[in-house]
Amino acid sequence: MKHLTTKDLMTAGIFSALYFLAIGLVTFICMFTLPVLGNFLLPAVAALTTGSIYFLLLKQVPKFGAITIFSLVMGTFLLLSGHFPLAIIANLGFSGLADWFTYRTTFQTKHKSLLGYILFSYGLTGPLLPLWFMKQQYIDNLTSRGKTATYISGMFQYVTPTFFILLMFFILIGAILGGIYGQKLVAKHFGQTSSKQISDLYD
């Protein structure tokens, strides 16, 4: 990460703030339009809407490590703001993969950045994964609250592998559509000329 300059770090921080705001807005919309399902679909909807922020960051800081920093900042912020601690692991893992895929593979630039975005989008599944992979914690918690086994099995009848696969599929579709839209939006509004004009102003 040492090759990232102060400007790169500042840009990552500013884009993280924007990304955080976008995620907050998406959460708000999801909660009110789809009261229950919205929470499960949040990573897919977020992937659909935040593509432009990701691709503009990629354009502004085209260096290995920028995506990881971007995601790590979000993860640390979520951790410090009391969100699920394991979320940072999913964030870090998927963003590291996205970084590696974007800068260390030899695919065509447009395609590998889209694939990188798809991987990055899976980082948002962190808060949801415990429902499937830490089921025992929830069951212990319910047992300590005096709930019966029949009641507990009824509670978890919808936390199934099929539902999990379906969610992952939705994220994939959301990331593909959001990525293509984000790439187009960045190319249209922040193309070579417009970004050069902005950077010329400050160089």
Partner 1 sequence: MINIQIKCLLLFITHIFLFIPFHPVQQTVLVGLLLSILFLEKERKRSLLYGSIYLVLLGILIALPYFKSFLGHSFGQLAMVFLLLYPCFLAGSLLIRTSLLSDWILLLKKCRLPMYLILPITVMFRFIPHFKEDFKHTFRLQKMRVPHSSLFKRLERTLIVLLHAAIQSSQELTMAALAKGINQLETRPVSKLTSLTFLDYLVATSSLGLIVWRSFL
Q: Which of 87, 66, 104 is nearest to 23 (CA)?
A: 87
Q: Which of 33, 105, 109, 137 binds partner 1 (CB under 8 A)?
A: 137
Instruction: Provide the sign of the torsion angle of the four alpha carbons 8, 73, 23, 86, taken in this order.
Output: positive
Contact flag: residue 166 with partner 1 (CB under 8 A): no
**Shortest Å distance, C-beta 144 to partner 1:** 5
By CB atoms closer than 10 A (0-12, 13-18, 19+), residue 116 is buried
Helix extents (H) in 61-191:
66-80, 87-104, 109-121, 129-133, 135-144, 149-155, 161-189
One of 32, 104, 108, 145 touching partner 1 (CB under 8 A):
145
| Residue 62 in the binding site for partner 1 (CB under 8 A) | no
Q: What's the rounded Cα separation, in Å, for the pair 120 and 56? A: 14
Three state DSSP letters for 96-110: HHHHHHHHHCCCCHH
Rounded distance between C-alpha atoms, residue 126 and residue 91, angstroms: 7
Out of 18, 89, 129, 180, name the contact with partner 1 by CB under 8 A. 18
Contact stretch for partner 1 (CB under 8 A) within 32-40, 93-101, 104-112, 117-125:
32-40
Q: Candidates 44, 46, 60, 117: give the one binding partner 1 (CB under 8 A).
A: 60
70-89 residues near partner 1, rule: CB under 8 A: 70, 72-73, 76-77, 80-85
* Residue of 28, 32, 34, 16 lying closest to 123 (CA atoms): 16
Question: Which of these segments, 53-61, 95-103, 105-113, 165-173, binds partner 1 (CB under 8 A)?
Answer: 53-61
Interface with partner 1, residue 17, by CB under 8 A: yes
Q: Which is nearer to partner 1, 109 or 141 (CB)?
A: 141
Binding site for partner 1 (CB under 8 A): 1-2, 4, 6-7, 9-18, 20-22, 25, 35-37, 39, 52-53, 56, 60, 65, 69-70, 72-73, 76-77, 80-85, 131, 137-138, 140-145, 151, 154-159, 185, 189-190, 195, 198-199, 201-202
